[in-house]
Structure 1
């Protein structure tokens, strides 16, 4: 009985420049999440099956590649409409905060986000500081102002209180992806409890924006 017909190997499709660049960034995200920002571009090129010279055709330096990773993992996941959600006073404050943190954790609770963020901090890279500054200006400061506006007598709300709430929620992801300790499969109830404790402890919300 004749064996199966053997077909000649198909030539690899030549990627367009934009596709090749995106492929390199995707591979770099996975690579740096695994080995840290000290990982060598030579090893990354080997994983991709390309020469290091081709990688540097698209990124003039390792720093430029890390910058592209930063944009892909961090900035591209932040949605401008989240600020609109936080500032929509036709919706109860508790609902706005819960909607924001549900979307935010869905975006960042990934292996790549958490590990690159921790590696960046350990390497004293400037990525974390830039990200946190952007997060503060785009979302956390507007949230603070909305909480103050909804509270009795427009009470002062300290930014440190906002960071404590934010850090506690994000720490669930750190435990899951960095420390690899058990966390709730559904983080929604934990986020709800954190927001409720925050609103109860920090401000007394009344009127149309009552948290309940």
Structure 2
């Protein structure tokens, strides 16, 4: 009988985190650490030697799944007016679509939202601050409309940009939650979505702001 390899503390911690990501993606955050420990083949007390509480483990999952895959250059990419807006969006959403085309990412985001977990709100607040709001500002500029510092953003503007952004998340939901086949050519998906958004957004913004521009 082959003796089971003894893992180093670093290897054991990594094993716990990786399995926790898979576990919570299946069970949601209502899943019990007792069951997680069983799946890992360790005792629950050993699991708690690495993570002092279930909340600490969930926080680590959030850091790995969401924070660790976020690219800090996305916000500056959106606002770089030395490059055409189409070029900026193609690059940004090409990268974003690749990051979120992941079973655990999509399922944890959705299950956390359904359970009212704060990590879902934290992630979406980051998206709003670093992608949605800057893109709203850039679309005002592209449409030749007043800067938000002069004319504050309207919620309908944010909804317009959220709907565009949500195109890519909904693709992941269809694939990883509903099990519906999706087009796998992400470059084509991004190009089509960006084209439709840029063609329709300026007219939509003018209509949204019409009453406030009089």
Q: Judge same fold: TM > 0.5, yes or no.
A: yes
Provide, for residues 52-85 of structure 1, a one-character-per-residue CA deviation record: whole Å limited to 9, x for no partner: 1011111111111111111111111101012222
Corresponding position of 1:210: none
Kindly report the root-mean-square deviation, in angstroms, between the aligned alpha carbons of the 2 structures: 1.8
Q: 1:188 Cα shift?
A: 2.2
Q: 1:101 Cα shift?
A: 0.7
The answer to whether structure 1 residue 9 and structure 2 residue 8 are counterparts is no
Classify 1:15/1:183 alpha carbon distance in 2 versus 1 (closer, same or farther; 3 Å). same
Distance 1:171 1:187 in 2: 13
Corresponding position of 2:206: none
- The equivalences for 1:122-141 within 5 A come to 122-141=114-133
Q: 1:14 Cα shift?
A: 3.4
Distance 1:154 1:184 in 2: 38
The answer to whether structure 1 residue 34 and structure 2 residue 32 are counterparts is no
Q: Which runs of 4+ in 1 moved over 6 A?
A: none
The answer to whether structure 1 residue 67 and structure 2 residue 59 are counterparts is yes
Q: Partner of 1:203: helix, strand, or coil?
A: helix
Larger radius of gyration: 1
- Normalising by structure 1, we get a TM-score of 0.85
Choose between structure 1 and 2: higher helix proportion.
2
- The equivalences for 1:123-162 within 5 A come to 123-154=115-146, 158-162=157-161
Corresponding position of 2:166: 167
Distance 1:14 1:77 in 2: 26
Provide, for residues 6-59 of structure 1, a one-character-per-residue CA deviation record: whole Å limited to 9, x for no partner: xx734513313x332222111100111122221111111111111110111111
Aligned residue pairs, count: 196
Q: 1:169 Cα shift?
A: 2.3
Corresponding position of 1:3: none
Picking from 21, 26, 39, the partner of 2:13 is 21
Corresponding position of 1:57: 49
Corresponding position of 1:179: 178
Corresponding position of 2:194: 195
Q: Is the 8 A contact 2:78 2:88 kept in 1?
A: yes
Distance 1:22 1:140 in 2: 33
Q: 1:155 Cα shift?
A: 7.0
Q: Is the 8 A contact 2:137 2:147 kept in 1?
A: no
Gaps of 5+ in 1: 1-7, 205-212
Distance 2:26 2:82 in 1: 44
